[in-house]
Amino acid sequence: SRTVARNADGVVTVGGLDVAALAEEFGTPAYFLDEDDFRARARAWHEAFSSEGIDADVYYAGKAFLSKAIVRWLHEEGLSLDVCSGGELAVALAAGMPGHRIALHGNNKSPYELEQAVKAGVGHIVVDSYQEIDRLAAIAESQGVRQPVLIRVTVGVEAHTHEFIATAHEDQKFGLSLNGGAAAEAVRRTLAHGSLELRGIHSHIGSQIFDTAGFEVAARRVVGLLAEIRDEHGIELPEIDLGGGLGIAYTSEDDPREPAEIAASLAEIVRRECAAANLRAPRLSVEPGRAIVGPTAFTLYEVGTIKPLEHLRTYVSVDGGMSDNIRTALYDAEYSVALVSRTSGAEPMLVRVVGKHCESGDIVVRDAFLPADLAAGDLIAVPATGAYCRSMASNYNHALKPPVVAVRDGSARVIVRRETEEDLLRLDIG
C-alpha cells in the first residue's frame, strides 16, 4: 500500500512504523491495515461515482471485511454499506451506520434477519426468491412499513473468474433468471404487495473481474428488463445496482482498473442503453468490497520451520495458515510474499509458504522466491490480504483468529483483537 517503505536497516515500515516493532507489540500472525489507504480507496470510489453526470451510490460489501472501525470510516467517507447477514447488520448498526444507508442481501435470509432489517429501516432489501418476496411483504406489513426492495436477477453472463465466485451464469443459487422469465414473474409478485416498494433491479456477475465487458452485458440486460417492466406495468424503476466484483492486484501480473474509469464506463453504458430504450437513466449503485479493502492490509507471519526438498522446493512454515487465509486452498488464489524484517543479499530460492494446520493443502503462497538465508524468526509479509481473509478466517485446529491492527500516522491500534483460548473455551459448554 502507499505508506509501505524500508528503513535504513532494511526493515519494512508501514504508516511510519517498522514491522519488527509491530510484531513485538501485537504478535504474529496479524493483519495490518493501512487506514489512510482504506479511506483513500473508499473516497476514490465515492468520488468516482458522484462525479459530474453520474448519479450513483457506492455500497461497500461488508463480507470482504467488516468491523466497527470500518463502518465508521465508511460513514465518514460518505459510502453506504451492503450487508448479507444478521451479524453484519448488527455490526453496522452497532457502529452507527444509519439504517437508510444499509442494503441487505442474501439468498436465504431468515425471518429474523428480514425483521431486523425492516426494523432498522434499511434503504433497500435485495430479494432473491418468490418465497422471500411473500415473507418480506408480510413482515413489512406487520411493522406497518412500505419496504423498498430491489430484485436480484441472473443475467446469464459467464464472468471469467473462479467457478466458486462467478455468480451470473444460470446454474447457481443466486438471483432470478432473466432468460427463463423468473425475473419478470418476481416483478409481478413484488408489485402485487402494497407493503413492498419496487425500486429497481440488482445484478452481481462475480468477483475478481478485470474485464468490464461482463458488466456491459449485465447493464444492457438489466436495462432491457426495465424497458419490459415499463411496457408491461407502465412504471419506470428508478434504480439499478450492478453489484461488486472489480479485481485487485494480488501479484504483479494483475492489472486492475481505476474506480473513475469503471464509473465512467458503467455510467456511459447505462446512459446509452436507457436512451436507446427511451427510458430515464436510473440511479446506479455498485458494491465493491475487495477493491476497497483488499489492497489495504497485509498479513505478517513469523517463519518457523524450513524444510528443503531436494530438486523440488523449500517448504517454509509460518505461524498461521489456512485459518487466516483460506483463499489459496479454496480458489487457488495467488499471493506474493516478502521478507520484511531485514534485507538479504542471498540468492533467491523457490519456496512454498505453508501454514501450521494438519492438512497438506494448507498453503498460503504456492510458488514464490525468498532469500536462501531465510531463517526461523524472520518476519515475512503477504500483501493484499484485506479482503476475504479475516472475514473467512476459521478456528480450524482451534487456531486463534489473528487481530486486525489499523496503522495510521505513526500509530497502530487494534480494531479487532486477537482471539484467546478463553474465547474458544467460553463457547464450549462441556
Q: Name the DSSP letter for residue 144.
A: T
Residue 35 C-beta-side C-alpha neighbours within 13 Å: 21
Site string for ligand LLP, 104-143 (x = CB under 6 A): -x--------------------------------------
Q: Taking the complex as a whole, how short is the minimal distance between the CB of residue 210 and ligand LLP, in angstroms?
A: 11
C-alpha dist (Å) from residue 12 to 3, 29, 306, 371, 384:
10, 16, 22, 16, 16
For position 401 contacting ligand LLP by CB under 6 A, the verdict is: no
Which residue shows C-alpha cell 402485487? Answer: 192
| Residues 16, 19, 21, 23, CA torsion sign | positive
For position 295 contacting ligand LLP by CB under 6 A, the verdict is: no
C-alpha cell at 192: 402485487
Return the number of the residue (291 or 399) whose C-beta is nearest ligand LLP. Answer: 291
Classify residue 192 as left (phi > 0), alpha (psi -120 to 50) or beta: alpha
For ligand LLP, the binding residue among 41, 46, 193, 204 (CB under 6 A) is 204
Whether 177 and 218 have beta carbons less than 8 Å apart is answered as: no
| Segment interacting with ligand LLP, rule: CB under 6 A, options 25-33, 136-144, 239-247, 264-272 | 239-247
| Segment interacting with ligand LLP, rule: CB under 6 A, options 34-42, 58-66, 301-309, 357-365 | 58-66
Helices (H), 241-390: 259-276, 290-293, 327-331
| Segment interacting with ligand LLP, rule: CB under 6 A, options 7-15, 282-290, 350-358, 378-386 | 282-290
For ligand LLP, the binding residue among 290, 352, 356, 408 (CB under 6 A) is 290
Beta strands in 281-339 (DSSP E): 283-286, 297-309, 313-318, 338-339
Return the number of the residue (74 or 351) whose C-beta is nearest ligand LLP. Answer: 74
For position 256 contacting ligand LLP by CB under 6 A, the verdict is: no
Q: Cβ of 5: how many Cβ atoms within 10 Å?
A: 12
Residue 189 C-beta-side C-alpha neighbours within 13 Å: 21
For position 262 contacting ligand LLP by CB under 6 A, the verdict is: no
For ligand LLP, the binding residue among 17, 19, 291, 384 (CB under 6 A) is 291
Whether 269 and 240 have beta carbons less than 8 Å apart is answered as: no
| Segment interacting with ligand LLP, rule: CB under 6 A, options 22-30, 244-252, 256-264, 401-409 | 244-252
CA 408/CA 57 separation, integer angstroms: 27
Q: Assign 380 to helix, strand or coil.
A: strand
Task: Tell me, yes or no, if 84 is annotated catalytic.
Answer: no
Helices (H), 316-385: 327-331
Return the number of the residue (327 or 352) whose C-beta is nearest ligand LLP. Answer: 327
The catalytic residue among 84, 274, 358, 389 is 358
For position 175 contacting ligand LLP by CB under 6 A, the verdict is: no
| Segment interacting with ligand LLP, rule: CB under 6 A, options 23-31, 137-145, 181-189, 288-296 | 288-296
C-alpha cell at 328: 489459496
Instruction: Kindly identify the residues of this chain, within the stretch 337-376, that bind ligand LLP according to CB under 6 A.
Output: none
For position 390 contacting ligand LLP by CB under 6 A, the verdict is: no
Whether 29 and 380 have beta carbons less than 8 Å apart is answered as: no
For ligand LLP, the binding residue among 129, 154, 207, 328 (CB under 6 A) is 207
| Total number of residues that touch ligand LLP (CB under 6 A) | 22
Q: Taking the complex as a whole, how short is the minimal distance between the CB of residue 215 and ligand LLP, in angstroms?
A: 12
**HEC letters along 337-370:** CEECCCCCCCCEEEEEEECCCCCCCCEEEEEEEE
Radius of gyration of the chain (CA): 23
Q: Taking the complex as a whole, how short is the minimal distance between the CB of residue 59 and ligand LLP, in angstroms?
A: 8
Of residues 315, 366, 126, 322, the one with CA closest to residue 239: 126
For ligand LLP, the binding residue among 243, 256, 282, 320 (CB under 6 A) is 243
Whether 236 and 22 have beta carbons less than 8 Å apart is answered as: no
Q: Taking the complex as a whole, how short is the minimal distance between the CB of residue 344 and ligand LLP, in angstroms?
A: 31
Q: Residues annotated as binding site for substrate?
A: 290, 327, 331, 359, 388
User: Applying CB under 6 A, which residues contact ligand LLP?
Assistant: 61, 63-64, 82, 105, 165, 204, 207-208, 243-246, 287-291, 327, 331, 387-388
Q: Residues annotated as binding site for pyridoxal 5'-phosphate?
A: 245, 287-290, 388
**Residues annotated catalytic, as ranges:** 358
